[in-house]
Amino acid sequence: MAEPLSDAGLDTLFRKARSYNGYLDKPVSEDQLRQIWELMKYGPTSANLFPVRVVWCVSQDAKERLAKLVSGNNHDKVLKAPVTAIIGMDTKFYDHAARLFPVTDARSWFVDAEGKPGAHAAPTAFRNSSLQGAYFIMAARAIGLDTGPMSGFDNDAVDREFFAGTDTKSNFLSTLGYGDPASIFDRLPRPSFEEFTQIA
């Protein structure tokens, strides 16, 4: 990790990457979905506890079920994208702690003596699945795909439709594919270092 990425690599991941509203008529393969997972899984999470869960909506049936639960023009985005990923979070992620963080009893950090979730469980699931959702975006860009993250949907309805009978809840959605340049707007302003940061 001693060498910084090339300008081309930085452009791919950050400077020229955009969030897309539409995609070219080009499929995304299961192999590419697996490639994204194999990259995003290496991003750090608290004690390696890995709360993210992903549903890849690829079939027309899955897209139609999801499209009914989103708002505004997100409906068409879901139907037309090659894939829409539901980025979810396992609210009982700590049940996997013995395997994922075997160096200590990490499960006890998140449950009380009766095994009920403590105060730290929910924010840990949300924070770390959000981080992993960002890793998903960067992993997709790294393998040549584009994304369109969105939060305009009915979380409770998505949970009932896609996560019924589980401890998983939805965090956000993201379309995925080969972005259509015609679907994006001019880049919006970004604040300067001096505006939004400080060195303490």
Say what the pLDDT of residue 109 is: 96
Give the amino acid at 63. K
The region, left, alpha or beta by phi > 0 then psi within -120 to 50, assigned to residue 23 is beta
Angstrom CA distances, 11 to 14, 18, 42, 149, stand at 5, 10, 21, 19
Q: For residue range 34-93, list pLDDT tens digits in order.
A: 999 999 999 999 999 999 999 999 999 999 999 999 999 999 999 999 999 999 999 999
Does 77 reside within a domain?
yes
Residue at 194 is within a domain? no
Res 2: pLDDT:
81
148 bridge partner residues: 175
Number of domains into which the chain is organized? 1
Reported pTM: 0.96
Q: H or E segment at 13? A: none
Is the residue at 114 inside a domain?
yes
Q: Is the pLDDT of residue 10 over 80?
A: yes
Angle at 152 between CA 58 and CA 17, to 5 degrees: 70
Residue 132 lies in a domain: yes
Question: Does residue 97 belong to any structural domain of this protein?
Answer: yes
Q: Could you read off the pLDDT of 104-128 as tens digits, one per residue?
A: 999 999 999 888 999 999 999 999 9
Q: Which residues are 173's β-sheet partners?
A: 86, 150
- CATH number assigned to the domain comprising residue 120: 3.40.109.10
Which residues touch 152 (CB under 8 Å, ≥6 apart)? 70, 71, 72, 74
In a domain, 199, yes or no: no
The whole-number pLDDT of residue 105 equals 96
Residue 157: inside a domain: yes
pLDDT tens column, 146-196: 999 999 999 999 999 999 999 999 999 999 999 999 999 999 999 999 999
Report if residue 143 sits inside a domain: yes
Range of the domain at 89: 22-175
